[in-house]
Chains A and B, each alone.
Chain A
Amino acid sequence: MIIGKGKSIKDILAMIENHSKIIVAGCRGCVTVCAAGGEKEVGILSAALSLAREKDGKPITIKEVTLERQCDSEYLESIRSFVDEYEAVVSIACGAGVQFMAEKFRKIPLYPGIDTNFIGVTEAQGVWTERCQACGDCKLHITGGICPISRCAKSLFNGPCGGSAKGKCEINPEVDCGWQLIYDRLKELGKLDQLEIIIPINDWSNSRDGGPRKIIREDLTL
Chain B
Amino acid sequence: MRLSYPTNIKIIQVPCTGKVDVLYLLKSFQRGADGVYVAGCLEGNCHYLTGNLRARKRVEYIKKILDEIGIGGERLEMYNMSAAQGPRFVEIANEMTERIKKLGPNPIKLAASTKSEEGAQKGKEECFV
Write the residues of chain A forming the contact surface with B, with a CB cutoff of 8 angstroms. 8-10, 13, 40, 43-44, 47-48, 50-52, 54-57
Taking CB atoms, residues of chain A closer than 8 Å to B29 are 51
Contact A52 B23 (CB under 8 A): no
Query: Once the chains are docked, how many angstroms separate the CA of A128 from the CA of B68?
Result: 24
Q: B22, B71, B114: which contacts A51 (Cβ < 8 A)?
A: B71
Say yes or no: A44-B30 contact (C-beta < 8 A), given A52-B70, A54-B111, A55-B71: no
Fill in one digit per residue for B20-34: 1 if any A CB lies within 8 Å of its CB, else 0.
Answer: 001100110110000
Q: B23, B70, B111, B115: which contacts A43 (Cβ < 8 A)?
A: B23
- Select the residue from B22, B69, B70 with max chain A CB neighbours within 10 A: B69
B123 sits at the interface (CB 8 A): no
B43 to chain A, nearest CB (A): 19
Q: B26, B111, B112: which contacts A44 (Cβ < 8 A)?
A: B26
List 19 other contacts, CB 8 Å, given A40-B23, A44-B26, A55-B111.
A8-B68, A9-B68, A9-B69, A10-B68, A40-B22, A47-B23, A47-B27, A48-B65, A48-B69, A51-B26, A51-B29, A51-B69, A51-B108, A54-B112, A55-B69, A55-B71, A56-B70, A56-B111, A57-B111
Say yes or no: A44-B22 contact (C-beta < 8 A), given A51-B29, A54-B108: yes
Taking CB atoms, residues of chain B closer than 8 Å to A10 are 68-69
Interchain Cβ contacts under 8 Å between A and B, 18 examples:
A9-B65, A9-B69, A10-B68, A40-B23, A43-B23, A44-B22, A47-B23, A48-B26, A51-B30, A51-B69, A51-B71, A54-B30, A55-B69, A55-B108, A55-B111, A56-B70, A57-B111, A57-B115
B107 sits at the interface (CB 8 A): yes
Query: Once the chains are docked, how many angstroms separate the CA of A43 from the CA of B69?
Result: 16
Query: Once the chains are docked, how many angstroms separate the CA of A43 from the CA of B108?
Result: 19
Fill in one digit per residue for B86-121: 1 if any A CB lies within 8 Å of its CB, else 0.
Answer: 000000000000000000000110011011000000
Taking CB atoms, residues of chain B closer than 8 Å to A9 are 65, 68-69
B 1-46 contacts with A by CB, 8 A: 22-23, 26-27, 29-30
Query: Once the chains are docked, how many angstroms separate the CA of A8 from the CA of B67?
Result: 12
A73 to chain B, nearest CB (A): 31
Taking CB atoms, residues of chain A closer than 8 Å to B26 are 44, 47-48, 51
Taking CB atoms, residues of chain B closer than 8 Å to A55 are 69-71, 107-108, 111
Taking CB atoms, residues of chain A closer than 8 Å to B65 are 9, 44, 48
Taking CB atoms, residues of chain B closer than 8 Å to A43 are 23
Taking CB atoms, residues of chain A closer than 8 Å to B68 are 8-10, 48
Query: Once the chains are docked, how many angstroms separate the CA of A48 from the CA of B71?
Result: 10
Query: Once the chains are docked, how many angstroms separate the CA of A43 from the CA of B70?
Result: 19
